[in-house]
Amino acid sequence: MGNPTIVFITGVGKGIGATLARIYLARPNHAVIGSIRDETTEEVAELKKFPAAKGTKLLLVHIDSASLDDPQKALSKIQDAGIDHIDVVIANAGGYPPVVELDSVSRKDLLSCFEVNAAAPLLLFQTFKPLLQKASAPKWIAISTSAGSVGYIGVIGSHILPAYGASKAALNWLTQSIHFQNEWLTVVALHPGLVQTGQGNWVARKVGLEQAPTTTDESALSIVKVIDDATREATSGKFISAVDGTEVPW
């Protein structure tokens, strides 16, 4: 086998992140790096037991999105494991505060959301940029949401999520900035769909649905397809709905 494909996914302890990790673990000749906050959970134990394909391995690192030190510690652990480049980074980890409307949202919740959903991915990029630069066709993928689209606020009613939506809009801005400042890198912001997670089902009920229409598996498979097909020329600098492949307005 040739050199393995190195994929780094943040937030693999549950939900979309865990499903993404399993998809890549099922591919031969991959190294899957996953960040977690709590190694003692049942979901992490299940991920460790997942049968990896031939030549594929899992490396878990600890990153709390509120920490300024964790990304650098994770980088050191990754390098100590003999990994000298990263082909794909999927900035998936994020936070979802208590749902409070604009008139009542607190400064604390707003700043906390910006810290986790915007500042933390930026620090991740700053830390791991040198390893991306050593890859032959590196990709930086930000898992965003249509709730972060300024153009969609009136269309989907995302004004009910001020802290979450505003912080993801900031993530989108940073993602575009990464695209324009790094011509060697493929950079994509992805809307994963309205997914059957706790927060996704809550949003679905607010718009009259019993549950979110997209399963975690469907979302993760769609995300991976976009990543596989992404190129600097055709995809970079776009905000894409992973499930149907359409562009989302910024």
The pLDDT assigned to 108 comes to 92
Q: How confident is the model at residue 7 (pLDDT cuts 50, 70, 90)?
A: very high
Q: Which of 151, 140, 144, 145 is nearest to 178 (CA)?
A: 140
The pLDDT assigned to 140 comes to 99
Contact 20, 226 (CB under 8 A): no
Torsion region of 29: left, alpha or beta (phi above 0 gives left; psi -120 to 50 gives alpha): left
Structural domain for 218, as ranges? 5-241
Decide if 248 is inside a domain: no
**Edge-to-edge strands of the sheet including 30-36?**
57-62, 30-36, 5-9, 88-91, 139-143, 186-191, 238-241
Decide if 247 is inside a domain: no
Decide if 104 is inside a domain: yes
pLDDT in tens, 103-114: 999 999 999 999
**Cα(41)–Cα(37) distance, integer angstroms:** 10
What's the whole-number average pLDDT of the chain? 94
Decide if 249 is inside a domain: no
Q: Is pTM beyond 0.85 here?
A: yes
**Cα(68)–Cα(114) distance, integer angstroms:** 14
Q: 24, 96, 152, 164: which one is catalytic?
A: 164
Decide if 246 is inside a domain: no
Q: How confident is the model at residue 1 (pLDDT cuts 50, 70, 90)?
A: low
Q: How confident is the model at residue 20 (pLDDT cuts 50, 70, 90)?
A: very high
Decide if 250 is inside a domain: no
Residue 227 makes CB contacts below 8 A (sequence gap 6+) with 88, 90, 139, 141, 188
Active site annotation includes 77: no
CATH number for the domain spanning 17: value is 3.40.50.720
**Cα(37)–Cα(77) distance, integer angstroms:** 15
Active site annotation includes 14: no
Three-state secondary structure along the chain? CCCCEEEEECCCCCHHHHHHHHHHHCCCCEEEEEEECCCCCHHHHHHHHCCCCCCCEEEEEECCCCCCCHHHHHHHHHHHCCCCCCCEEEECCCCCCCCCCCCCCCHHHHHHHHHHHHHHHHHHHHHHHHHHHCCCCCEEEEECCHHHCHHHHHHHCHHHCHHHHHHHHHHHHHHHHHHHHCCCCEEEEEECCCECCHHHHHHHHHCCCCCCCECHHHHHHHHHHHHHHCCCCCCCCEEEECCCCCECCC
Contact 166, 172 (CB under 8 A): no
Number of domains present in the structure of the chain: 1
CB count, 10 Å around CB of 157? Answer: 13
Decide if 122 is inside a domain: yes
**The two structure tokens encoding residue 247:** 């562009």
Decide if 11 is inside a domain: yes
Beta bridge mates, 108:
none
Q: Is the pLDDT of residue 12 over 80?
A: yes
Q: How confident is the model at residue 74 (pLDDT cuts 50, 70, 90)?
A: very high
Residues of the chain above pLDDT 90, percent: 83
Q: 96, 139, 152, 168: which one is catalytic?
A: 168
